[in-house]
Amino acid sequence: MISPKGKTALITGSTDGVGRVVAEQLGKMGARVLVHGRGRERGEQVVAAIKRDGGTAEFLPADLAALAEVRRLADAVRATTDRLDILINNAGIGSAGAGRQTSADGHELRFAVNYLAGFLLSYLLLPLLKQSAPARIVNVASAGQQAIDFSDVMLTRGYSGSRAYCQSKLAQIMFTVDLARELEGTGVTVNSLHPATYMNTTMVRRAGVTPISTVEQGAEAILNLAVGPALEGRSGLYFNGLREARAERQAYDAEARARLRALSLELTGLRAGEKV
Ligand SMILES: NC(=O)c1ccc[n+]([C@@H]2O[C@H](COP(=O)([O-])OP(=O)(O)OC[C@H]3O[C@@H](n4cnc5c(N)ncnc54)[C@H](OP(=O)(O)O)[C@@H]3O)[C@@H](O)[C@H]2O)c1
């Protein structure tokens, strides 16, 4: 692994699950870690664990189910650090739940939290990432992917938690392919992955599934993209664990990606001056 000593990493959703393990491991490797989640108590516990191991960390709370909070998180990052070398968009909600839910902005909740929040956060933090280049963005997606039906992205018809989860995960991968092209020549790379299948996390337990992988396996795959030497200068890729893989067909459909991008810009209200 390339040593992250002296580098700063933000891991969204690092109060629990695989994100927590990645945050703790980056802390042990010497990175300054920005821990993110909703609950302050759990966030501070992760910070304390990193500090006990001799690392440096701070907790930045934000509920990614509100775009205003995503903006607040970006502001908090900028107020905390003048460099950002690694951004890991990991926070997510699984497929379990009692029917269709919406975000504070009225968007289908999994699309909002799993995809749209990371889309907006990445753009808001791009100036900092570019300034710190070489820098890397890692989008933690999933092997569970479903093509987006552009006539009903918010899933007002035929909703299922699994469909909502899978389309949000494919959206992350489509964004990765798209953003990589835009970032060519900037020294900022962006890759996505399926970390591991059914890790032993809250999300999987909530879905009533028996775990078959450890969080350490998923963390290893995420760290490979975040600090692995083989990924230097490589961008726009999708990995299944440690192996480069093909995502669902729609990820390679330029027209579908353009539609998703236009919709995402509209929904997030990203202004021209912010999109550098
Ligand atoms: N588990 C698997 O087998 C598996 C497989 C493929 C992909 N993945 C992906 O891996 C990532 C991590 O999953 P995990 O299994 O580690 O999940 P997890 O244990 O349930 O942890 C999810 C994390 O996301 C945060 N989060 C959820 N909703 C949020 C919101 N509205 N605002 C801010 N933070 C929020 C949680 O914060 P709080 O502490 O505030 O709840 C928590 O830190 C997800 O993107 C998931 O889709 C997981």
pLDDT tens-digit series, residues 2-50:
999 999 999 999 999 999 999 999 999 999 999 999 999 999 999 999 9
List the one residue out of 11, 224, 231, 221 whose CA is nearest residue 134. Answer: 231
Atom number, ligand 1, closest to the C-alpha of residue 20: 43
Atom number, ligand 1, closest to the C-alpha of residue 114: 45
What does 109-174 look like in DSSP terms, one character per residue? HHIIIIIIHHHHHHHHHHHHHHHT-SEEEEEE--S------TT-TT--SS--HHHHHHHHHHHHHH
Known active-site residue 165: yes
pLDDT 10s digits, 78-93 = 999 999 999 999 999 9
Which residue's alpha carbon is nearest to atom 20 within ligand 1? 203
Q: What whole-number distance in Å separates Cα of residue 135 and Cα of residue 190?
A: 9
What do you get for the CA distance between the two ends of the chain, in Å? 30
Which residue's alpha carbon is nearest to atom 3 within ligand 1? 198
Q: What average pLDDT does the segment 243-263 reach? A: 98
- Measured from CB, residues less than 6 Å from any atom of ligand 1 are 13, 15-19, 37-39, 42, 63-65, 90-93, 113, 140, 142, 194-195, 198-199, 201-204
| pLDDT for the residue numbered 274 | 79
Helix (H, G, I), strand (E, B), or coil: what is residue 205? helix
According to DSSP, the residues that pair with 102 across neighbouring strands are 108
Gap from CA of 91 to ligand 1 centroid (Å): 4
Q: What average pLDDT does the segment 54-71 reach? A: 98
| pLDDT for the residue numbered 94 | 97
- The token pair at 128 is 């900092």
Q: What average pLDDT does the segment 87-103 reach? A: 96
Gap from CA of 17 to ligand 1 centroid (Å): 7
Q: What average pLDDT does the segment 150-166 reach? A: 97
Query: Is pLDDT at 217 greater than 80 in this prediction?
Result: yes
| pLDDT for the residue numbered 86 | 98
Mean pLDDT check: name the lowest of 96-100, 157-161, 238-242, 265-269: 96-100
Q: What whole-number distance in Å separates Cα of residue 270 and Cα of residue 272?
A: 7
Atom number, ligand 1, closest to the C-alpha of residue 213: 3
Query: Is pLDDT at 173 greater than 70 in this prediction?
Result: yes
Of the candidates 115, 123, 159, 165, the residue annotated as catalytic is 165
Determine the residue of 203, 215, 216 to mutate for testing ligand 1's pocket, defined as the one with the most ligand atoms within 8 A of the Cβ atom: 203
Atom number, ligand 1, closest to the C-alpha of residue 16: 43
pLDDT 10s digits, 114-153 = 999 999 999 999 999 999 999 999 999 999 999 999 999 9
Query: Is pLDDT at 276 greater than 70 in this prediction?
Result: no
- What 53-60 contacts at long range (C-beta under 8 Å, 24+ apart), as own/partner pairs, is 53/24, 53/27, 53/28, 54/28, 55/27, 55/28, 55/30, 55/31, 56/27, 56/31, 56/32, 57/23, 57/27, 57/32, 57/33, 58/33, 58/34, 59/35, 60/10, 60/34, 60/35, 60/36
Which residue's alpha carbon is nearest to atom 47 within ligand 1? 92
pLDDT 10s digits, 218-235 = 999 999 999 999 999 999
Task: Work out the mean pLDDT of the chain and round it to a whole number.
Answer: 97
How remote is the C-alpha of 246 from its chain's centroid?
A: 19
Query: Is pLDDT at 271 greater than 90 in this prediction?
Result: no
- The answer to whether residues 245 and 239 touch, using CB atoms and an 8 Å cutoff, is yes
